[in-house]
Amino acid sequence: MADKTPIIALRLEGALQSWGDHSKWDERDSGNFPTKSGVVGLIACAMGLSRENEKVVDLTRSFQMAVRADRPGTRIIDFNTVMGNPLYTAGGKRPQSASTIVSHRCFLEDASFLALIEPSPEWIRPIIDSLKSPKWPIYLGRKSCVPSRPVLECVTEDYLSLADALTRFPLCERSAAGEYIRYESDFPMPGASSYTRSDLLSSADRNFSKRTVYTGVIRKEA
């Protein structure tokens, strides 16, 4: 029997998280799930890799990912004032006179996500070691969003696949009420729908390509 590939389980949990999706100038949104680029960025920070480092692109290509919203959190909007010159609005327009712009920043409050990744063999040990002892501070989407617990939950070979782990991995404390839990993944599962998301880093100069994301619900295990 072939050896199983270890699955790395990350627990993304904190007072606030924000996973930018279509952010632009004074409008800073957040997706309902962590983005692939956000998780890659978190791991790259732990490794001490700058965003211009080509290894970040290799890291992006090195693993499949599945994310389960054990506790989806509450969406909140924070209003910030920004002063400076020049200032641009979300529509790309510059006001006639320099003034204060109100910035809308969206966060997920008290959310807890299980992110499961299955890296290629050469990346397994570097990812594990860096998450155990990060070289740079890691955060949940934005630098103001600090994890409330260690991000590395465990490394496991107890599951047949990412899909199996997504279904059977234990839920977090205070998981969402109801019979079902929502998920997103890089691979299709029965009953899933799909959409495209531009969160796949394709070059070190910050170009992103589209990724097919599969989304659906799974039943909580009794």
Q: What is the pLDDT of residue 9?
A: 98
For 7-82+99-175, give the CATH class. alpha beta
**pTM (two decimals):** 0.85
Q: State the Cα–Cα distance between residues 107 and 88, nearest whole angstrom.
A: 22
Which residues on adjacent β-strands are paired with residue 68? 114, 183
- In the chain, where are the structural domains located? 7-82+99-175
Phi/psi of residue 138, nearest 5 degrees? -110, 155
Q: What is the pLDDT of residue 91?
A: 60
Of the candidate ranges 90-94, 107-111, 134-138, 200-204, the one whose mean pLDDT is the lowest:
90-94
Q: How confident is the model at residue 36 (pLDDT cuts 50, 70, 90)?
A: very high
Tokens representing 175 are 């998981």
List the alpha helices (DSSP H) in the chain. Answer: 36-47, 54-61, 121-132, 162-168
Phi/psi of residue 121, nearest 5 degrees? -55, -40
Encode pLDDT of 65-108 as tens digits: 999 999 999 988 877 776 666 656 556 666 555 567 677 778 89
CB atoms within 10 A of CB 133: 7
Q: What is the pLDDT of residue 176?
A: 81
Tokens representing 9 are 């389980």
**Among 199, 147, 117, 109, CA closest to 12:** 147
CB atoms within 10 A of CB 131: 20
Mean pLDDT of the chain: 86
Encode pLDDT of 165-202 as tens digits: 999 999 998 888 788 999 999 999 999 999 998 888 88
Q: What is the pLDDT of residue 75?
A: 87
Q: What is the pLDDT of residue 198?
A: 84
Tally the C-alpha atoms within 13 A of residue 14's C-alpha that lie toward its C-beta.
22
Contact between 150 and 12 under an 8 Å Cβ cutoff? The reply is no
CA 42, 44, 46: angle at the middle one, nearest 5? 75
- Tell me, what amino acid is at 146? V
State the average pLDDT over residues 5-21.
91
